[in-house]
Amino acid sequence: MTTTRCGSGDEHVERTDDTVAAVQPDLVVIQVYTTSARRLYELADTYRARGVFVALGGLRVTSPPDEAAAHADAIFLGSGEDT
């Protein structure tokens, strides 16, 4: 997971631990790319096991929606600008 902070013209990008064990959000939305689908599905499954509502979107989700649906509570099909 990469976080980006922007302010005063400065940009800071850092690699963080993507297990985010201490975080318990109400909702997680993940944009899935083919190159990272396996890892993102694992991350989605981890959140769902903790009772977090997970929504997935992106081109990978649109192409094989049944595959993505197995890892999410909701999926978004098509371009993000249209859904």
Question: How many angstroms separate the first and last alpha carbons of the chain?
Answer: 24
> Secondary structure of 22-82 in the HEC alphabet?
CCCCCEEEEECCHHHHHHHHHHHHHHHHCCCEEEEECHHHHCCHHHHHCCCCEECCCCCCC
CA–CA dist 83, 72 (Å, integer): 17
What pLDDT, on a 0 to 100 scale, did the predictor assign at position 78? 80
| Residues of the chain with confidence (pLDDT) below 50 | 1-7, 12-14
What pLDDT, on a 0 to 100 scale, did the predictor assign at position 18? 59
What pLDDT, on a 0 to 100 scale, did the predictor assign at position 7? 47
What pLDDT, on a 0 to 100 scale, did the predictor assign at position 69? 96
What pLDDT, on a 0 to 100 scale, did the predictor assign at position 24? 80
What pLDDT, on a 0 to 100 scale, did the predictor assign at position 20? 62
What pLDDT, on a 0 to 100 scale, did the predictor assign at position 63? 87
Q: Sketch the domain layout of the chain as residue ranges.
A: 18-75
DSSP assignment, residue 34? G
